[in-house]
Each structure stands twice: as C-alpha cells, then as structure tokens.
Amino acid sequence: MSDKKTKVILSGMRPTGKLHIGHYVGALENWVSLQNDYQNYHLIADYHTLTTNLDTTNVYDDSIEMAIDWIACGIDPVKSPMFRQSQIKEHTELFLLFSMLITKARLEKNPTLKEQIKDMKLTGIIYGHLGYPVLQAADILLYKGNMVPVGEDQVPHVEITRHIAGVFNEKYKMKDGRTIFPMPEPKITQFARLPGLDGKAKMSKSLDNTILLSDDGEAIKNKMKKAFTDPDKLRKGDKGNPDICLVYTYHKKFNPEEISEIREGCTSGALGCFDCKMKISSKISDFFAPIREKRNELEKNKNGVLEVLIDGEKRAHEVAKQTMSQVREAMKIG
C-alpha cells in the first residue's frame, strides 16, 4: 500500500438524473484516475437535491441512474464505497452541530450561492439552501476527507468546509489533545467545465444543453447539429475563429490528434461547420462507446446496483459512526 492510500478523497454529486459528458470530463475522469492511489468515498448527495427541488418523485431512480453512470465510467465500488447520503444518519447529526459554527453572513457571502440565486431567479432563500455548504462540510469531514475533487463552482463550498473544520478543531479536541478533522483541499480538474451545446460556459441539465453518457451516435449527431459555432462563419468557405467555438473545445478534448488540422480548416474556411460537427460527433461516440455498453448492461440489473449501494452504505456507515463517537466525546454531548 502506498502512503497516499492513507489519504482520503471524498467526492460527491447530486443525483439529478442521467449524467452527461460534462460530468465525465469535469469530474468522473478525475475520480477514476484517483481511485488507485487514495482511499475514495463516493457520495450520492440526495439530501442536497432538496435545496432546489422539493419534488422527491425521482430521487430514488436518479440515485440508481447516477450509480450506473459512475460504475460504467470505471469507478470500482469494491475499492471505494458508493453510498447515498440519506442512508447514513450521521450526516444529519454532524450537519446540525456544524450549523452552530458558522454565521449567516459567512454563508450569504458564498459566490456559488449568489450565482444560483441569480440563475434561478429566487426571491427568497430556503434555510437549508443557505446551509448547503454546511451539509457538504459534514459529508466531507465525516470521512475525514483530505481532498475533494471538484469543479471551480464548488471551491467556495470547500472553503466553508475548511472554515468549519478550523473552528471545530480550535474549540473541541480529543482527550489526548489531538484534533479530529483534517483541513481538506479542493482538487480542481483541468477541464473543469465543458461548454454546453448552446455555447454557455457549462453543460447542465437545467440548461438542456447536454450530451448524455447514454446518448448513442445518432443522438449525439442530432444534438451536435444544433450546436452554436462562430456566428460569423455562416457557410463553408467563410473563415472561422475556433477560439470562440464550443465545437472546437470538444475537438481539443476528444480529438486532440487532429486538432491542428481542425484549426487550420476552420480558420482558412476549408472546413465547414457541419463537417466539423459530424467529425467530432463520431469521435465522442467512439470515446464513450465502452461506457455506453457497460451502462446498458447495468440498466438490466438495477437490483444489483442497489445491492452495490447497500454494501457501500454499510462500509461508509462504520467510518461515520467512528467519527461521530469522537465528535460526541470531544464535545461532551450526545
């Protein structure tokens, strides 16, 4: 076992249905590469979905779908427990205790929250939504996470986790004087955001600008046809600017071997947008073909996927119980 194995990575996502290729590039690819070197925990943040959507009809199914996508992408649930937050009640207990360690003003300063309020045109903010990063801090610290792989938008949440860990460690210590929590670090992925098909900075289900991991070649082509490109390049022959084109960003990621030809074709006008889009569609389809195949297999055995989660929940629960008993002892409460 390498030294790194003693370091803990806590990664998590809200179950919002089938995952898209932006999730793969922004997060899953990174998770997969980290699983051999670290002790990983993969959290399905089902409680967190309630902060922006009180309709719980799909939470269970969405959680299973997300686990399917994770496993299909190469996350090994035997190595790294995969679990639903709601199945481990210690999350709620630690959330409550942590909520005493941070001010409302500090939470209101969170830029990710401000962005959500603006994007979702919220007129008031639900108490639990304001406390979103406090629950996330409980998720991370319950497993004594040292690292949290995240996109840029999540960095403010990890900062709040660090703040809470600092306040807790300062106030409460174990009998032997040691502190309980590590100071987790965010680990940002290089390609933290894959742009959406509409040219928006981020692929996102709510913006309806995604390519799903489950989309086959045909579906990808059809979606790609509608993708935004350089608005000044109207037809083949027109010179384009690849640096403002989202399709070019996809080429950079999924077709690096042809990137200079694509750039040259676009800037000279020799390559039309339609051909460029068809080229990248097949590249993306090929890239995700093995993942699609695996996820189709898993779809046929959803009970098996549930078993995987139940097993992960048992293992995660053991760790959560230990942390909470340290917390209760240090705080002399509960």
Which residues sit at the interface with ligand TRP, rule CB under 6 A?
10-14, 43, 45, 48, 136, 139-140, 148, 150, 154, 157
Q: Which is nearer to ligand TRP, 207 or 244 (CB)?
A: 207
Q: Report the chain's C-alpha Rg in angstroms.
A: 22
Report the residue closest to ligand TRP, judged by CB: 12
Nearest by Cα to 102 from 150, 166, 25: 166
Q: Looking at beta carbons only, is 42 or 253 nearer to ligand TRP?
A: 42
- 146 versus 281: smaller Cβ distance to ligand TRP: 146
Nearest alpha-carbon partner for 330 in 138, 175, 145: 175
| Shortest spacing between CB 201 and ligand TRP, in angstroms | 16
Q: Which ranges in the chain belong to alpha helices (H)?
A: 21-23, 29-34, 46-49, 59-73, 90-98, 104-108, 111-119, 127-130, 132-142, 155-171, 217-225, 246-254, 259-268, 273-299, 302-331
Q: Starting at the edge strand that comes first in sequence, how are the strands of the sheet with 147-150 ordered?
A: 82-84, 39-44, 8-13, 147-150, 185-188
Q: How far is CA 158 from CA 26, 176, 187, in A?
A: 16, 28, 10
φ, ψ of residue 100 in degrees (nearest 5): -85, -10
Q: Which residues pair with 84 in a beta bridge?
A: 44
CB of 278 to ligand TRP, least distance (A): 32
- Tell me how far, at minimum, the Cβ of 291 lies from ligand TRP, in Å: 20
CB of 283 closer than 8 Å to CB of 247: no
Give me the least distance between CB of 332 and ligand TRP, in Å please: 28
Q: Which is nearer to ligand TRP, 204 or 267 (CB)?
A: 204
45 versus 309: smaller Cβ distance to ligand TRP: 45
- Supply the minimum distance, in Å, between the C-beta of residue 178 and ligand TRP: 24
CB of 124 to ligand TRP, least distance (A): 21
Nearest by Cα to 184 from 3, 1, 8, 4: 8
Nearer to ligand TRP, 43 or 165 (CB): 43
Q: Which is nearer to ligand TRP, 48 or 292 (CB)?
A: 48
Two tokens, residue 112: 């990710």
DSSP string, 240-293: --GGG-HHHHHHHHH-GGGHHHHHHHHHHS-S-HHHHHHHHHHHHHHHHHHHHH
Least CB distance to ligand TRP at residue 24 (A): 14
Whole-number minimum distance, CB 211 to ligand TRP, in Å? 19
Residue 13 or 284 having the CB closest to ligand TRP: 13
Q: Give, in degrees to the nearest 5, the angle at Cα 104 between 100 and 106.
A: 100
CA 322, 325, 327, 329 torsion-angle sign: negative
